[in-house]
Amino acid sequence: MDFRTQIPIQKQQHNLVDYHSKVLLLGSCFVENIGDKLSYYKFQTLQNPFGVLFHPLAIETLITNAINDKEFTEDDVFLHNELWHYFGANSKLSSPSKEELLQKLNQQTVTTKQWLNSASHIVITLGTAWVYRYIEKDTIVANCHKVPQKRFQKELLSVDAIVQSLEAILVLINEYNPKTQVVFTVSPIRHLKDGFVENTQSKAHLISAIHQVVNKRQNYYFPSYEIMMDELRDYRFYAKDMLHPNETAIDYIWERFQNIWIADDALPTMKTINEIQKGLQHKPFNSTSEAHQVFLDKLELKKSAILEAFPHIVF
């Protein structure tokens, strides 16, 4: 007897991810869970060059700026709480130095453009349809950077507004790199600071909009949100905050993603890399013992074999 329902997902038949692929990951913090798995197995990836971006308009702005070679100047940044910030980036890029922040922004813009041009796959994960409009300049921001909330107006993006943004993203990507494959997903992380009903409404808007776009174009939707809500519908799959998927849930969703999007011929390499990664993390009882030296020699042989096949891999 089966005590759960499993979402049926067919393995993709074309353009699967292998060790020659380049995967650009953009969006909410859940995209970094998938990105970290890909990085662990040494796939070629770039994730969130401007940090976590929760809503589609922020991702659209990033892609637009990158493709149009935007050069950031002091007019784009501001000082708050002794740090320089940019409203279109996550706080991890913020800096006590204005010049350092501008350098980061311009360098990450160049890097993003390079990856948009060369990526075989682009994974876009949307987290919320709730956005904050900076009243003074009438612009929607990606991050408020702890600027007082009275300076923002909170808004819920309509389904039509999200569709329009996603369509713009796809036009930009397809014109610049028509060979890339775009995969959409919705983050299973619950944004309960918006409210329980409001979080559900937000996710519904995102899912409705994505499916309108996916149905029009040859793009794909990976149901990470549905897997978490349906297959893993139990609080034992959540972290202590009861909002984020825990390690078990992330591993399970990654396994589903791997079964669908990772090429079969990449699996033996993944297995060897996993052995190497665990070997590198191994802490011996006696680092000078003969047994440990034999272990290290075998580890080096495995690394050499991988690097010979894929010189771009770095351990």
The CATH number assigned to the domain holding 245 equals 3.40.50.1110
200 and 235 belong to one structural domain: yes
For 83, phi then psi, to 5°, come to: -130, 150
- Smallest Cα–Cα separation from 210: which of 95, 30, 55? 55
**Parallel/antiparallel/unpaired status of strands 181-186 and 152-156:** unpaired
- Using pLDDT thresholds of 50, 70 and 90, give the confidence band for residue 4: confident
Residue 292 sits in the same domain as residue 159: no
287 and 249 inside one domain: no
Calculate the CA 201 to chain-centre distance: 22
- Is 12 part of a structural domain of the chain? no
- Is the predicted pLDDT of residue 196 greater than 90, yes or no? yes
Other beta carbons within 10 angstroms of residue 69's beta carbon come to 10
Domain end point (choices 218, 238, 262)? 262
> Which of these, 67, 68, 32, lies nearest to 48 by C-alpha position?
32
Element (H, E) at 214: helix 196-216
Domain contains 11: no
Quote the pLDDT of residue 282.
85
Reported as a pLDDT band with limits 50, 70 and 90, residue 291 is confident
302 and 231 within one domain: no
Tell me, yes or no, whether 143 lies in a domain.
Answer: yes
Give Cα 218 to chain centroid, integer Å.
20
Residue 227 and residue 268 in one domain: no
**Count of the separate structural domains present in the chain:** 2
Structure-token match 């079964």, residue found:
259
Indicate whether 217 and 310 sit together in one domain.
Answer: no
| 311 plus 217 within the same structural domain | no
Residues 79 and 152 in one domain: yes
pLDDT for 243: 95
Among the three residues 217, 236, 262, which one is the final residue of a domain in this structure? 262
pTM: 0.95
Co-location of 281 and 253 in the same domain: no
Do 257 and 281 fall into the same domain?
Answer: no
Does residue 9 form part of some domain? no
Average pLDDT of the residues in 85-93: 97
- Among 125-129, 156-160, 268-272, 293-297, whose mean pLDDT is lowest? 293-297
Judge if 214 and 255 occupy the same domain.
Answer: yes
For residues 84 and 78, the answer to whether their CB atoms sit within 8 Å is yes
Q: Residues with Cβ < 8 Å from 117, sequence gap 6 or more?
A: 176, 177
Please report which confidence band the pLDDT of residue 299 belongs to, taking 50, 70 and 90 as the band edges.
very high
**Burial of 236 by CB count in 10 Å (0-12 exposed, 13-18 middle, 19+ buried)?**
exposed
pLDDT digits (tens, 9 = 90+) for 40-85: 999 999 999 999 999 999 999 999 999 999 999 999 999 999 999 9
The pLDDT, as a whole number, for residue 213 is 96
Q: Is residue 1 part of a domain?
A: no
pLDDT tens string 218-231: 789 999 999 999 99
What are the two backbone dihedrals, phi and then psi, of residue 301, each rounded to the nearest 5 degrees?
Answer: -65, -40
Model confidence at 294: pLDDT above 90: no
* % the chain with pLDDT above 90: 89
Strands 220-221 and 181-186 come out as parallel
Amino acid of residue 283: K
Looking at the fold, whether 114 and 201 belong to one and the same domain comes out as yes
pLDDT-derived band at 214 (thresholds 50, 70, 90) equals very high
Q: Tell me the residue range of the domain where 287 lies.
A: 264-315
Identify the domain boundary among 262, 285, 307. Answer: 262
